[in-house]
Amino acid sequence: MEQATTQEQRLAPGRRSGGGNALPVLEDGAWRAEQRSRSLERLLTLLGPLVVLGLWELLAQLQLIDTRFFPPPSHILSTLVAMVASGDLWYHVRASLSRIAIGFLLGAVPGIVLGLAMGLYRPVRALVAPLIGALMPIPTMALVPLLIILFGLGELSKWMTIATSVFFPVVINTAAGVAGIEPIYIDVARNYGASRWSFFTRIALPGALPVMFEGLQMGQAIALLTIVAAEMVAASQGIGYVIWTAYKTFQIARMFVGLMTIACLGYLFSLALRALAQKLTPWR
């Protein structure tokens, strides 16, 4: 008995971090080699974009590529700085952010609710699944005219455009998350007499959460794709509007700033969602 306890105590969460310096020499060498290859990897990930940018700059400076369409990165950078300094960029980013946030909530919340209902109740799934299957393949861009007819030219139609595109991946992943819960966990809940509500909060919800978050990640990416489409029509601000008007007025550097901003937003959103997922699913 004694032996087993001491062995297992080494796994104790509190004691794991403390024992780092007690590694034997041999493992230490292996660990260093691994660290070295890690930092090399990190260097390479940075190197890729830098090489592309440097090459681009060089070719543009030498007039080997058409700078009307591919202005040198230094020019894009100065445009970016100017747009940040004047508050111009923030004005548009703020507009897009609030549309994405509201649209995302309008799509994700019903998606989660309906997805849970589909996963928990077979009749709901039978009723709704074919509808979702039929509607999902329609590109949201193709729905924009219809959404404008339904919801007008104002903010509402933009929210609804984003909501529509976010809804589908969220509802499908949530339903799949619930349906994918191991039957044994359902048996455990029944065996210990869980009420419907307890089953929902203690088994179905946490069990579905990881897959549900994958849906939210997809929804987030799609929301960014959609915002450009939503802001192309009848908008006077927003990142999509910036890209679209810059393109039409041939301010290509400004357009590139818009594209870069979208890329950065996407990266930040996925980081934020991953952090949220880690906080809500600490057992993973």
Partner 1 sequence: MTQGSLGWAGGDGRSPDPAPPKIVVRHLYKVFRRGDRQVTALEDVSLAIPEGEFCVLLGPSGCGKSTLLRILAGLEAPSAGTVEIRRRAPQAPLNAMVFQEQGVLPWMTVEENVAFGLQMRGLPRREIRERTERFLEKVQLLPFRHAYPKELSGGMKQRVSLARAFVTEPEILLMDEPFSALDEQTTFLLQEELLRIWSEHRRTVVYVTHSIDEAILLGDRLLLMSARPGRIVEAIPVPLARPRQIETLRSDPRVGELFVRIWHHLRREVVGHRESGA
Stretch that binds partner 1, among 3-11, 43-51, 64-72, 221-229 (CB under 8 A): 3-11
Minimum gap (Å) between residue 35 Cβ and partner 1:
24
Q: Which one of residues 37, 190, 260, 264 is an interface residue with partner 1 (CB under 8 A)?
A: 190
Per-residue tokens: 276:
């949220």
DSSP conformational letter for 199: I
- Minimum CB separation of residue 16 from partner 1 in Å reads 9
> Rule CB under 8 A: is residue 18 a binding residue for partner 1?
no
192 interacts with partner 1 by CB under 8 A: yes
Give the number of other CB atoms < 10 A from CB of residue 247: 14
**Position among 6, 193, 196, 248 found at the interface with partner 1 (CB under 8 A):** 193
Which residues fall within 8 angstroms of residue 218, CB to CB, at 6 or more apart? 169, 170, 173
Q: Tell me the Cα Rg of the chain.
A: 25
Residues in 78-137 that interact with partner 1 by CB under 8 A: none
CA–CA gap between residue 212 and residue 22 (Å, rounded): 40
CA distance 118 to 114: 6
Q: Which of 277, 156, 161 is nearest to 209 (CA)?
A: 277
Side chain identity at residue 194, one-letter code: A
Interface mask toward partner 1 for 194-233; x: CB under 8 A: xx--x---xx--xx-x------------------------
- Minimum distance of partner 1 from residue 192's CB (angstroms): 4
Q: Which residues bind partner 1 (CB under 8 A)?
A: 1, 4-5, 8-9, 11-14, 184-185, 187-195, 198, 202-203, 206-207, 209, 281-284
